[in-house]
Chains A and B, each alone.
Chain A
Amino acid sequence: MNPFEQLSVYFQFPFVRYALIVGVLIALCSSLLGVTLVLKRFSFIGDGLSHVAFGAMAVAAVAGLTNQMIVVLPVTVLAAVLLLQSGSKAKLKGDAAVAMISVSALAIGYLLMNLFPTSSNVAADVCTTLFGSTSILTLSSWEVWLSVGLSVLVVAIFVLFYNKIFAVTFDETYAKATGTKTDLYNLLIAVVIAVVIVLAMNLVGSLLISALIIFPALSAMRIFKNFLAVTVFSAAVSVLAAGVGILLSILFSTPVGPSVVGIDLVVFGICWAIGAITGRRKKA
Chain B
Amino acid sequence: MAQIIATDLVVGYQTPLTPPLDFCIDKGEYWVIIGQNGSGKTTTLKTLLGLIKPYGGSLTMGGGLDKTKLGYLPQQTEVQRDFPASVYEVVLSGCLSKMGLRPFYNKTERQLARDNISKLGLSDLAKRPYRELSGGQQQRVLLARALCATDSLLVLDEPVAGLDPATTDEMYRLVKGLNQEGVTIVMISHDVDQALADCTHVLKLGKETFVGTVEQYEESRTKEEADHESV
Contact = CB atoms under 8 A, between A and B. Distances in A.
A161 interface: yes
B80 A39 contact: yes
B93 A226 contact: no
A226 B51 contact: no
Nearest to B82: A221
Given A170-B93, A171-B77, A173-B51, A179 B84 contact: no
A32 B41 CA distance: 40
Interface in A163-177: 163-164, 166-167, 170-171, 173-177
B96 A173 contact: no
For the side of the interface on B, what is the size category? 35 or more
Contacts of B197: none
A176 B68 CA distance: 10
Nearest to A223: B84
Given A162-B103, A163-B104, A177 B51 contact: yes
A226 B74 contact: no
A226 B80 contact: no
A218 to B, nearest CB: 10
A161 B93 contact: no
B13 interface: no
A230 B77 contact: no
A159 B103 CA distance: 8
A115 interface: no
For the side of the interface on A, what is the size category? 20 to 34
Contacts of A229: 84
Interface of B: 46, 49-51, 66-72, 74, 77-80, 82-86, 89-90, 93-94, 96-97, 99, 103-105, 127, 129, 131-132, 145, 149, 155
B125 to A, nearest CB: 13
Contacts of B145: 174
B84 A178 contact: no
B152 to A, nearest CB: 12
Contacts of B85: 166, 170, 225-227
A167 B93 contact: yes
25 contacts: A39-B83, A159-B103, A163-B96, A170-B90, A170-B93, A171-B79, A173-B51, A173-B78, A174-B72, A174-B77, A176-B51, A177-B50, A178-B68, A178-B72, A178-B149, A179-B67, A220-B84, A221-B82, A221-B84, A224-B84, A226-B85, A226-B86, A226-B129, A227-B86, A228-B89
Contact of A225 (B74, B86, B99): B86
B97 A179 contact: yes
Given A177-B72, A179-B69, 8 more contacts: A163-B96, A166-B93, A171-B77, A173-B51, A174-B74, A175-B96, A178-B70, A180-B97
* Residue from A159, A180, A224, A225 with most neighbouring chain B CB atoms (10 Å): A225
Interface string A31-59: 00000000101000000000000000000
A43 B51 CA distance: 26
* Residue from A41, A224, A226 with most neighbouring chain B CB atoms (10 Å): A226
Interface in A1-41: 39, 41
A180 B93 CA distance: 11
Nearest to A169: B83
A100 interface: no
A58 B85 CA distance: 41
Nearest to B66: A179
A177 B186 CA distance: 14
Interface string A216-239: 000011001111111000000000
Contacts of A160: 103
A161 B100 CA distance: 11
Nearest to B72: A177
Nearest to B95: A163
Nearest to A170: B85
B96 A167 contact: yes
A194 B67 CA distance: 31
Contacts of A224: 84
A167 B97 CA distance: 10
A178 B152 CA distance: 12
A220 B69 CA distance: 35
B97 A178 contact: yes
Given A179-B67, A230-B84, A173 B93 contact: no
B59 to A, nearest CB: 14
